[in-house]
Structure 1
Amino acid sequence: MRWIHWSDGDAEHTARWHTESGMPVPRQVVMADDRMNASTAHRLACEGTALLWQGDYHQARQLLQAMGRRVDRKAPSAAPSPTAAFHLQRRASGHRARVLGRLLVPLGADYTLALRRAPDIRAACEEAYGPPRPTPSVVSLRELLGVLGAHQWRTKGVDVPALDARIHPHYGVFSPVRGEYVDLAARAPLPRPASHGGPAFDLGTGTGVLSAVLARRGVRRVVATDNNPRAVACARANMSRLGLTGQVEITAGDALFPPGRAALVVCNPPWLPAKPSSALEQGVYDPKGTMLDAFLTGLAAHLLPGGEGWLIMSDLAEHLGLRAPGELGSAFAAAGLRVAARLDTLPRHARASDPEDPLHAARAAEVTSLWRLTAAGRPERSPAPPPAAPDRSPAPGS
């Protein structure tokens, strides 16, 4: 447990330091309230001084937005290549997070936010942080707003047309808002052993959305794994809500594959082989492609005869220069795998068509694929169809 210390006049104070992004404990803390303007707050935060807010809650939110606008004025200049643009954007995002993360608020031991006009945040904090602790804490307002946003998503849920239902993501669990990868799993033909009662594995299940899709498609038993306790709790809650606990077993642990073999093994690893800057980014960044490598090298040994592994990945890493063209195919061959077929779709999120996005060129060229992989030494039961053309249908509601 780490502690933050500050002075208020002649009084000395100590509280537990809570961060989900790995922010270090601020060494210098000053009191701030409604009298502090955005220019002063931005300057102090850039110098490394944390601001412990004592004023109005809504004024604090407005101050955070104003600080963000000042950070964004110093946007990185045009980069000479997509790879350079990616690294510049990552550095800019990290700087933004550090500066804005220095506006702090105090939480009571019961997660009460003792600021004027503050909402009741206790349920949201308990969902994200667990049961209340016996001591007060100090948190970044920016992180706290993320907790409140996650609470709203968890309450409302994310509509998944492939399920004709909603998935409810928990804080710290990758949300299936990019539905194109789910749609690929919903329309890929099931391998014969899976459609005839063979089990399926869902590796790194997250919210459990792909397990739910497989179960709704008639796969009788799905074993889903994840090493994130929040994801395990989230997936179990979603399976219970969807009435699928009899078909889907959620298991926790560090092992990527569960014991045994399956007719179908599905994996949607983080798409970018880069280091996450916090635990909350682990659904996006896979350092050195560790999870991808573990899936490929272990797949053949975990497939039943006639079974398939479904790798669902975007090629954004190739367009950003983070993975060489052809590297994925070489990795398949090295793992003793062959491509039976591939289904492609184009991204439907807003940034793919936003020319102001610093990574626009790469995002505009991005294709998300479901690779149907088989063990190279095993004969196919039926001829593999050619790769499908990318799905160019508009997003629902567009």
Structure 2
Amino acid sequence: MPNMISTGRAEIEWRSESTQKPPRAAVYLSHANAEQVLKAAHAHTATVWTGDFHNAKQVLAAMKKRVRKPGSRNQHADIQTAFHSHRMRQAQQSRVLNMLAVEIGCGFSLELPRAPDVAGALADVYGAANDEPFLLPLNRLLGFIGAHEWHKKGIVLPCLEAAIHVPFGVFSPLRGEYLDLIAQAPLPADIQTAFDIGTGSGVIAALLAKCGVARIVATDNNPKALASARANLERLGYGAQVEVCAADLFPEGQADLIVCNPPWLPAKPTSAVETALYDPDNAMLKGFLSGAAQHLTPGGEVWLIMSDLAEHLHLRAPGFLAQCFAEAGLESVGQLDTRPKHAKAFAPDDPLAFARSRETTSLYRLKAALQP
């Protein structure tokens, strides 16, 4: 059911692509300053901008300066509490910033002075054009526009010697160190088949194809990811080698190699985009490991790519993975490690810098354990 809110004139749909509750009401204004919009936001009322688009962006920037001022930190809080407090602050800030909105007309039109053409960006997110107007947070719209530009431009990956094009709503391989691990890992002897579980953009399947694996099945349960993977693999010339299919985890049959890069943090996502980052109660991780052995050919390998950031945040016990391997009937035959190279890992003002600075990303090579 769509979220409908009152504007005083009529009811209109509110979209935000998150689990946040919609505002209770909305008012249309052509001029306002950041303080006015924030005051309305704290009263659960959205401001729908009807004036100049660039002025709206300036107001949003001023709102961000006020909302994102560093707050006092509890130096005595434990690490896990600090993480959850950080996420709560992020959610609160996002909710307030999302209270500055615009009305999207039929056909994804935005009828504001100096407004860009947003139809392509919104089609990337929603697919078919809308028949009824809806309200959309300006902050979300700007994110959609940026994601659309990245989708068109693509992300050049040295290990692939090519670009991957990723739409909004699909995990983007901006952090490429885990792909370098896959490129470095020795393939099982006489490998013919591989499964890429949770393929997302199809980047891992493409890398396996480039490395010479003859037949690959890539799975995902996100329709956007499936479409993105198919488009990327066709563009790269691997369409004949890779079959992309819808599945929660495994396809039918067995493979010589099964690869998975699941979400790394066991926490609840607050939007569709975050499902690639957060895995509540380690559900996908456990499901993958518990089913992997039965889908392996004799002598085959499982490659699990994981970061230890959750351990540094005290969200996962240090021995948790080893216990999961044993319970799933898997044993380690090798491990490759790398340190992060992304900007956040070196940002001292990041609230989670204490954990990111110690993070290691690993590729665990696993085989079915011999039965006693």
* Shorter-chain TM-score range: over 0.9
1:108 lines up with 2:105 in the alignment: yes
SS in 1 for 2:253: coil
How far does residue 295 in structure 1 lie from its aligned partner after superposition? Answer: 0.8
- State how far apart, in whole Å, the 2-side matches of 1:137 and 1:114 are: 13
- State how far apart, in whole Å, the 1-side matches of 2:196 and 2:332 are: 19
1:190 lines up with 2:191 in the alignment: no
Q: TM-score, normalised by structure 1?
A: 0.90
- State how far apart, in whole Å, the 2-side matches of 1:236 and 1:50 are: 39
**Residues 304 and 167 of structure 1: CA distance in aligned 2, closer, same or farther (over 3 Å):** same
Q: Is the 8 A contact 1:305 1:378 kept in 2?
A: no
How far does residue 354 in structure 1 lie from its aligned partner after superposition? Answer: 1.1
2:311 to 292, 315, 318: 318
1:209 lines up with 2:203 in the alignment: yes
**Residues 47 and 14 of structure 1: CA distance in aligned 2, closer, same or farther (over 3 Å):** closer
Aligned position for 1:70: 66
How far does residue 176 in structure 1 lie from its aligned partner after superposition? Answer: 0.2
How far does residue 343 in structure 1 lie from its aligned partner after superposition? Answer: 0.1
State the one-letter code of the partner of 1:283. A
1:250 lines up with 2:244 in the alignment: yes
Q: Is the 8 A contact 1:82 1:361 kept in 2?
A: no
1:95 to 80, 92, 97: 92
- State how far apart, in whole Å, the 2-side matches of 1:131 and 1:76 are: 45
1:161 to 158, 161, 168: 158
Which moved further from structure 2: 206-215 or 70-79? Answer: 70-79
How far does residue 203 in structure 1 lie from its aligned partner after superposition? Answer: 0.3
SS in 1 for 2:115: coil
2:149 to 142, 149, 152: 152
- State how far apart, in whole Å, the 1-side matches of 2:330 and 2:279 are: 21
Aligned position for 2:44: 48
How far does residue 13 in structure 1 lie from its aligned partner after superposition? Answer: 2.8
1:17 lines up with 2:14 in the alignment: yes
1:141 to 138, 143, 162: 138
Say how many residue pairs are matched: 370
- State how far apart, in whole Å, the 2-side matches of 1:374 and 1:76 are: 48
How far does residue 378 in structure 1 lie from its aligned partner after superposition? Answer: 7.3
2:55 to 55, 59, 72: 59
Which moved further from structure 2: 184-193 or 73-82? Answer: 73-82
- Percent of aligned pairs sharing the same letter: 51
State the one-letter code of the partner of 1:138. L
2:214 to 197, 215, 220: 220
How far does residue 32 in structure 1 lie from its aligned partner after superposition? Answer: 2.3
Q: How do residues 17-36 of structure 1 correspond to structure 2 at under 5 angstroms?
A: 17-34=14-31, 36=32
Aligned position for 2:170: 173
Q: Post-superposition, which runs of at least 4 consecutive aligned residues in structure 1 deviate over 6 A?
A: none
- Structure 2, unaligned stretches of length 5 or more? none
How far does residue 136 in structure 1 lie from its aligned partner after superposition? Answer: 1.2
How far does residue 14 in structure 1 lie from its aligned partner after superposition? Answer: 3.1
Q: How do residues 325-340 of structure 1 correspond to structure 2 at under 5 angstroms?
A: 325-340=318-333
- State how far apart, in whole Å, the 2-side matches of 1:268 and 1:350 are: 21
State the one-letter code of the partner of 1:144. L
How far does residue 74 in structure 1 lie from its aligned partner after superposition? Answer: 5.0
SS in 2 for 1:205: coil
- State how far apart, in whole Å, the 1-side matches of 2:89 and 2:23 are: 20
SS in 2 for 1:51: strand
2:343 to 347, 350, 354: 350
SS in 2 for 1:256: coil
How far does residue 4 in structure 1 lie from its aligned partner after superposition? Answer: 2.7
How far does residue 252 in structure 1 lie from its aligned partner after superposition? Answer: 1.2
Q: How do residues 119-134 of structure 1 correspond to structure 2 at under 5 angstroms?
A: 119-134=116-131
1:365 lines up with 2:368 in the alignment: no
Q: TM-score, normalised by structure 2?
A: 0.97
Q: Is the 8 A contact 2:195 2:259 kept in 1?
A: yes
CA RMSD of aligned residues (A): 1.4
SS in 1 for 2:166: coil
Q: Is the 8 A contact 2:5 2:25 kept in 1?
A: no
